[in-house]
Chains A and B, each alone.
Chain A
Amino acid sequence: MGTPVILVAMTVLFTACPRSKPAYIDLGRIPEQYLATVPYRNGDVFRMQHETSKVIIDFEVERHRHKTSSEGYGSVPTRFEPAPDYYYEYEVDMTTCKPKYPVFDLSISLSNAYMLNEEEMQSWYKKADLFAVGSAKVPFVGDDHSDYEIIDSLEINGHYYKDVFKLKTDYYNYDDELIHADTILYNYENGFVGIVMSNGEKYMLYED
């Protein structure tokens, strides 16, 4: 007799008291100065040259922005109403550069999820993610650059590129024995300036 009563009571207790509706946080749009971190427009074509073979490779750019959302757990950041769980909606700006030669894609991902104001979010999202068979992060325009190695002026085929970030990649998802990007050279004005592979081969920006 006792057990069914307890079961019924527990069922009523757990089903009759729904959790409060999670907070919904709209982080709005990615600020223009951060979008300026990526100089490419949808439909652009840029060229890179494989240094030893002199092969010139066209990369076609696709750039799209969309809204997406994620779940947040634990305490809500201080600037929002407290709630046990929450959702946040943010913008993602994705740039993919497809080569017209059988080599790797290049891509850049921007997001304004950093605006959630959590410390972890700030350090993770307040940078542009670069991918080239290995990934690296570059800070947004106007943010702190002190931790980055920056080449003031880099000459490639008679062209000079200013303030080039020299970014060592992470390759944690892959096998270190396989050829991957070791260093990515990038600036705000030109985007990908060079890719140095783990076997020493280089792909450098090519302009007439």
Chain B
Amino acid sequence: MKTKFLIILALSFVTASCTKPTKSYYVQDSNREWFADTANLKFTMRDDNGVSQSFSFADIDQYMSEQGSYFMCIYVEGIEYEHVYQSGFSSFSTLNMSVSLTADHLDDEPEGTDDFRMDFGLAHYTMRIDGNKFYPKYCYEYSNDSEMEFMAEYIDKYYVHDVEYQGVMHLKLIDVAYPWAANFPTEVYYAKHYGLIQCTLGDKLTLYRLPD
């Protein structure tokens, strides 16, 4: 009996260590367009009053996560799914942010959508995304462990300082009365291939991206 148990245990270890994920999930190409291109990683933003600061984003990065299913301690099947992300900061350290996409691998989410997250350190916006279609979930604030509603819309063309941006994501918190931190972006305009182009901070100061 003991020998059988040991054999099963050994086999389960061998199976677990040798089995490759049976299915791989990747972020849709149409969603990758939301990351800033290499040529657009550094830029300057100027606020309503004329005060400027620089922003710098890193190149896109990517990694795969694995998730396994087990039956009686025996590895049955596994999947792997892709994460793609890009992070950036302002040269004055007033606004650090990251944008990430996780490939769709869950059954209970809208078909064909990837998980999108835009994180500003104090809170993050999260939604499902399928190219130009957005399915907002919530804006999660870390300090109060609270989930706030926000709206998300796709805009074909949007102008900032006379520069036309095609394909813009517009996110806006619905509860504007909530005491958001002074430097938390309560409204964001984010363009395909460019990244951040405009944002309004908690104290109603708006920053606009300057032309290159």
Residues of A within 8 A of B (CB): 50, 52-53, 55, 101-105, 133, 174-175, 177-180, 197, 199, 201
CB contacts (< 8 Å) of B28 on chain A: these are none
CB contacts (< 8 Å) of A199 on chain B: these are 44, 52
Q: Known contacts A102-B182, A102-B201: does B50 contact A177 (CB below 8 Å)?
A: no
Q: Known contacts A102-B183, A175-B42, A179-B44: does B92 contact A133 (CB below 8 Å)?
A: yes
Q: Which residue on A lies nearest to B42, using beta carbons?
A: A177
Q: Are B52 and A179 in contact (CB under 8 A)?
A: yes
Q: Are A177 and B54 in contact (CB under 8 A)?
A: yes
Enumerate 13 A-B pairs (CB-CB under 8 Å) in ascending A order: A53-B51, A102-B92, A102-B94, A103-B94, A104-B94, A175-B91, A177-B54, A178-B55, A178-B91, A179-B52, A179-B53, A179-B54, A197-B52
Taking a contact as CB atoms closer than 8 A, the residue among B49, B54, B91 that contacts A55 in the complex is B49
Taking a contact as CB atoms closer than 8 A, the residue among A50, A175, A180 that contacts B51 in the complex is A50
Closest 6 CB pairs of A and B: A53-B50, A178-B54, A178-B91, A102-B94, A53-B49, A104-B92
Taking a contact as CB atoms closer than 8 A, the residue among B51, B55, B93 that contacts A201 in the complex is B51
Minimum C-beta distance from B56 to chain A (A): 6
In the docked arrangement, what's the CA distance between A31 and B93, Å?
33
Q: Are A133 and B51 in contact (CB under 8 A)?
A: no
Number of chain B interface residues as a range: 20 to 34
Q: Within 8 Å of chain A (Cβ to Cβ): is B95?
A: yes
Minimum C-beta distance from B29 to chain A (A): 30
Q: Known contacts A102-B182, A175-B42, A201-B51: does B91 contact A180 (CB below 8 Å)?
A: yes
In the docked arrangement, what's the CA distance between A174 and B53, Å?
14
Q: Within 8 Å of chain A (Cβ to Cβ): is B205?
A: yes
Report B56-87 CB contacts with A as 1/0, cut-off 8 Å. 10000000000000000000000000000000
Q: Which residue on B lies nearest to A200, using beta carbons?
A: B52
Minimum C-beta distance from A103 to chain B (A): 5
CB contacts (< 8 Å) of B183 on chain A: these are 102
CB contacts (< 8 Å) of B94 on chain A: these are 102-104
In the docked arrangement, what's the CA distance between A72 and B91, Å?
34
CB contacts (< 8 Å) of B52 on chain A: these are 179, 197, 199, 201
Minimum C-beta distance from A54 to chain B (A): 8
Q: Known contacts A102-B182, A102-B183, A102-B201: does B50 contact A179 (CB below 8 Å)?
A: no
Minimum C-beta distance from B99 to chain A (A): 19
Among A102, A104, A180, A197, the one with the most B-chain Cβ atoms within 10 Å of its Cβ is: A102
Q: Known contacts A50-B51, A53-B50: does B92 contact A174 (CB below 8 Å)?
A: no
CB contacts (< 8 Å) of B53 on chain A: these are 102-103, 179
Q: Are A52 and B50 in contact (CB under 8 A)?
A: yes
In the docked arrangement, what's the CA distance between A18 and B54, Å?
54
Q: Which residue on A lies nearest to B205, using beta carbons?
A: A102
Minimum C-beta distance from A139 to chain B (A): 27
Minimum C-beta distance from A167 to chain B (A): 19
CB contacts (< 8 Å) of A102 on chain B: these are 47, 53, 92, 94-95, 182-183, 201, 205
CB contacts (< 8 Å) of B56 on chain A: these are 175, 178
